[in-house]
Every structure is written in structure tokens, then in C-alpha cells.
Amino acid sequence: MIATTAAAAPVVTTAPPLRLVLVASPDRRVPARAVALGSGADVVLEVTLGHAHPFVELASDLRGARPDVVLVSAGSGETQGVADALEALAVACEGARMPAVLLAVDERMARRLLPATRGAGERIVDVARGRDDAVARLRALRSGGPARPGRVEAEARAHTRVQAQTTLTVDVGEDGASLVLVSPGGALTSLHTALGCGPSVDALVAGGGLDRVRRWIPRAIDAPALLDRVFSRARWPEARPATTLTLAIELALLREAIARLIALAERAGIDVAPLRAAPGVVAGGALARLAPSQTVLVLLDALGPDATTLVSRSVDATIEPLALVTVPAVGRGASVRVADANGVTDERVTRGALFVVRTSGAPRVSVGGEERSVASSLAVGVVVDARGRPLELPPRDAERLPAVARWHAALDALPSEPAS
């Protein structure tokens, strides 16, 4: 079903995320990025110490960046570089409030640097060893309404309690995207970005390139037209797609929001393998408001789970199981056995296949000797994904378009357009 409402006034965004500047030495840049991802802050500028940053240019960049907070992570050999950056910050903030400066440096270095922060600095523990502390400190600096990270983490903990297994919550909304993995023991991997499917959707496209969105659309579309749609969409975050084509763009943007967060996590040195191996995935936010098959397809494409996964969605604090996704190792005679209220179905699996076995009641799936059952019925069914990992799309349009269209058709994710 497609929502038919196209009308919606341009909406001003809610409380903006913290604008963060990272100042880090090359060896500490990666853990500093991980802190930024954990806090949900928007990294507006990254200054790598040791690279040439002329003073005036840096001051000008910092003034343009308008940071709320500056996170410094450096070793004692970089004292002079950090001091230069902080002096440039002081020049940039002439006539304005100095942002908070968090110094993740050793105590001696902090003593030397604190005068340069003009009273706005404080020392925190090293970001590599005390990531959680740094994340908590950054979150505490955010003001202006409830923050996305805390809300999604609370939901993710609830999802794990309900499902009684390690669960990944994937929440994509107008204000950002989040991936939160919670184990029954309480261990937490929490990643957030301000790049969502709302006002920041143009930044999402600018960062990754238009082709990363276009590749998921099962129709030929020229880049200028897609760019117009993306730009207008950024100013109408509440607009809903009224046609199959615009719906396909929405799904592509949601995929890119998740894929970008995963890419940022990899850039921040975070191991994303546990995210892909989670036995349970719960969709939230705008992702959960799609039709069930659309939610499942977007998660399959963007997240690429590599183990048998129960995909659910969370709507109004209720978890609805959507699909049991199996990712069989394709070899000679590979097959999937699905048992449900209607009996037993055996399906042969070929390389590249993606299909759904519709089920009735609580299904049980056997793949390569591994068995998995679900306690309740599934809105979509058992999805068999043998497209391989990592999922690679054909580079040429002539091959890519039919492949992507086939995947959408396999899950009945896009409704057919009425004949005109």
C-alpha cells in the first residue's frame, strides 16, 4: 500500500544535534570518531594534527563550523599542534561564546592547554580507554529536548528484554539514524548519526554520492531529476510518497541512511560484524512505518545480515515479527526446509536467489543442519537470501535495473502502478 498524501508543509527540524569539531592526532582520530558516533553528535569539522593547517585558514574554518563543543584527543607529542588549534578557536570565537572544549589528553598536557581554552576547557579520560565516559560527557552537553541516542537505547533494551536474545535496533528517522545492539547481558554497541531521511537527506546524498541512492531504484532515472527530488524532500521531511517511483526513492534513501551509518562505524574502527550477526533485528522510526515487506527488504539490502535473523518492527511500543531471514551458504544441493501450520515445504536454493516462503502460524526453518523456530506468525514469511555477502550490485544499468526490480518483486515491496 502506498500512502497517497503528498501534501505537507516544509517542517523546521526539532532540537538540532550537537555540532562537534574533532581535533585529533592521526593515531587517535579513529577512537575520537567512535566517540562522536556514540554520542550522536554532528561532526562539522575534523582537524588532524600534524597536517598543515595554516592559522588563519583554521580560524576561518572554525568560525564557519560554529561548533557547540570541541573534542581534542592527542598524545603529548602534539601539544603544540593542539595549542595552535585552540588559539585559532579563540580567534574564531571573538565576539561569540567559546564552545566547550573536552581535552582527552594526559594530565600534564591538559595543564599546559587549559589556559588556551579561555575557561571553557575540561580534561576527560583518553577516548580509546574511556569511550563511554567521553560519550556520556558529550551527551550531557546537549540541550534542547530529548536526544535520539537515549531514546533509541531505551527502546533497544526493551526490545532485547522482550525477545530474550541479542537484538539490533535499527532506527531511521527524520532527525538521524541509529544502530543499537544489546545483548541479554546488557552489553551495548550504540551508534548514531544526524544523517537521517529528513532535513539532512541532502547531506546524506552529498556525502555518499547520488549514485549510491540511484543504484537501489529499479527504474532508470536521470541524476538531475533525482537530485531535485532529494533537495525538495529535505525541505518537506513529512512528505510521503504518492507514487511507486517516489516510494522507490524513499526506500533507497532509507537504505543509504543505514549504509552510511555502517560505513561511518567502519571508519571509526568499530567492528560491525556483530551487528550483521545479530539473531534479532527490530526496525524503528520511519523504517517501521513502511509496509512490512519494504521494511524487510531495506534491512536486508542495507544491513546485509549474514546469519539467520528474525526481523521485526516496533510500532507504538509493540513488536511485530515480520520475517525470518535465512542466509544459506550456497553449494551443491543447498535447500531450505520450512515447516508451519500448513505442513513442510522444501525449497532448493540457487546462487543469487532471493525469495519468500509465505507461512502460516509459527514457522520452523532448517538450513544446512541449523534449525530456527519463531513463536509467532510472520507478516511476511521466511525470506531466503542467497545473494551473497557483501551484497554487490551489477555496475551497469542494463544488469542492475532488472536485478533490483527482481528483488523488489520477490518481496512484493513495490505496488504496481495503476494503468493510465
x/- string (CB under 8 A) for other proteins, residues 272-301?
Answer: ------------------------------
For residues 253 and 178, give the distance between their C-alpha atoms in angstroms, rounded to a whole number. Answer: 15
Q: What does DSSP assign to residue 172? A: E
Q: Using alpha carbons only, give the angle 319, 385, 169 rounded to the nearest 5 degrees.
A: 30
What single-letter amino acid sits at 121? Answer: G
Provide the Cα torsion 414, 262, 189, 250; round to 10°.
-30
Site for other proteins in 108-127 (CB under 8 A): 115-116, 118
For residues 82 and 25, give the distance between their C-alpha atoms in angstroms, rounded to a whole number. Answer: 9
87 lies in the site for other proteins, by CB under 8 A: yes
Closest separation between CB of residue 62 and other proteins, Å?
A: 10
Contacts of 153 (CB under 8 A, 6+ apart): 180, 182, 188, 190
Closest to other proteins by CB, 243 vs 377, is: 243
264 lies in the site for other proteins, by CB under 8 A: no
> Dihedrals φ, ψ of 74, to 5°?
-155, 160
Distance (Å) of CA 351 to CA 179, 186, 237, 328: 29, 37, 39, 10
56 lies in the site for other proteins, by CB under 8 A: yes
Stretch that binds other proteins, among 30-38, 94-102, 330-338, 403-411 (CB under 8 A): 94-102
Task: Out of 55, 360, 371, 389, name the contact with other proteins by CB under 8 A.
Answer: 55
For residues 394 and 402, give the distance between their C-alpha atoms in angstroms, rounded to a whole number. Answer: 10
For residue 180, which of 204, 202, 151 has the smallest C-alpha distance?
151
10 lies in the site for other proteins, by CB under 8 A: yes
Burial code of 41-56, b = ≥16 C-beta within 10 A, e = fewer?
bbbbbebebeeebeee
What single-letter amino acid sits at 204? Answer: L
Site for other proteins in 137-156 (CB under 8 A): none
Task: Out of 165, 166, 243, 377, name the contact with other proteins by CB under 8 A.
Answer: 243
Q: Using alpha carbons only, give the angle 325, 218, 394 rounded to the nearest 5 degrees.
A: 75
Closest separation between CB of residue 360 and other proteins, Å?
A: 36
SS3 24: strand
x/- string (CB under 8 A) for other proteins, residues 11-50?
Answer: ----------------------------------------
Closest to other proteins by CB, 63 vs 400, is: 63
Closest to other proteins by CB, 96 vs 273, is: 96
186 lies in the site for other proteins, by CB under 8 A: no
Closest to other proteins by CB, 50 vs 54, is: 54
Task: Out of 203, 391, 393, 405, name the contact with other proteins by CB under 8 A.
Answer: 203
Stretch that binds other proteins, among 3-11, 40-48, 101-109, 337-345 (CB under 8 A): 3-11
Grid coordinates of 96: 561569540
9 lies in the site for other proteins, by CB under 8 A: yes
Alpha-helix runs per DSSP H in 66-217: 79-92, 107-113, 131-141, 148-163, 201-208, 210-214
> Dihedrals φ, ψ of 415, to 5°?
-70, 150
Task: Out of 226, 296, 298, 383, name the contact with other proteins by CB under 8 A.
Answer: 226
Residues 127, 71 contacting (CB under 8 angstroms): yes
Residues 261, 191 contacting (CB under 8 angstroms): yes
Closest separation between CB of residue 67 and other proteins, Å?
A: 13
> How many residues at the interface with other proteins, by CB under 8 A?
49
Stretch that binds other proteins, among 58-66, 129-137, 286-294, 405-413 (CB under 8 A): 58-66
Closest to other proteins by CB, 22 vs 230, is: 230
60 lies in the site for other proteins, by CB under 8 A: yes
Closest separation between CB of residue 370 and other proteins, Å?
A: 45
Grid coordinates of 21: 569539531
Interacting residues toward other proteins by CB under 8 A: 6-10, 54-57, 59-60, 63, 83, 87, 90-96, 115-116, 118, 199, 201-203, 206, 221, 223-236, 239, 242-243, 245-246
